[in-house]
Amino acid sequence: MKRLEDTARRAAKHARRPVVLAAVTVLLGGAGLWSHQQAAALGDGPVVRNTALTDNARTSEVKGAVTEAVNGAFSYTYADPAKSEAAARAALTGPAVGQHATMFAGVRKEGPAQRLVLTTTVTDGAVTLLTGDRARLLLFADQHNTRATDGRDASAPTMLAVDAVRRDGRWKLSAIDAFTGR
């Protein structure tokens, strides 16, 4: 009788083994599928597509071109306002055109009467995102203005976050966020 009980217990134990193995196989397969999907998502995220992190030459090109565009578009001289306008037209596209017009409305209005000279010089910056023909930069600049009518000089630091797009072989500012600290 004891032998019969031992045999029944072994048979029941062996009958559960395939069920346990099947459950473990399903769990491991599910974990493997989930891991594969997570790895694929990491390999195709925005950070991976951001060539600012991997392409130093292109990043330097963008930074230089955008620095030049900002220096030109945000400088003004009462003696040659057409030069300032031409620089802005060459440097701006899309929403940046209207944003620049709003930012410079006072300069255009008061500049000739005050004989204003405004010079913007980008002092530092970084390309935070570069994907294809689109870039996002954070720039620090010094703005120096002189009013010839009363000889007053003023300088102010500014920070700009700009979006840029490559059009017709040139990088142009497409959106401008200014942080002047005021």
Read off the pLDDT of each residue in 7-28 and give the average, rounded to a whole number. Answer: 70
Chain segment 94-135, per-residue pLDDT in tens = 999 999 999 999 999 999 999 999 999 999 999 999 999 999
Residue 35 has pLDDT above 90, yes or no: no
Q: What is the pLDDT of residue 151?
A: 83
CATH number of 51-179: 3.10.450.230
**How many residues can be counted in the chain?**
182
Find all residues with CB under 8 Å of 13, minimum gap 6, and list them: none
CB of 144 within 8 A of CB of 134?
no
> Can you give the C-alpha Rg of the chain in angstroms?
32
pTM (two decimals) = 0.73
Measure the CA–CA gap between 175 and 161, rounded to whole angstroms. 8
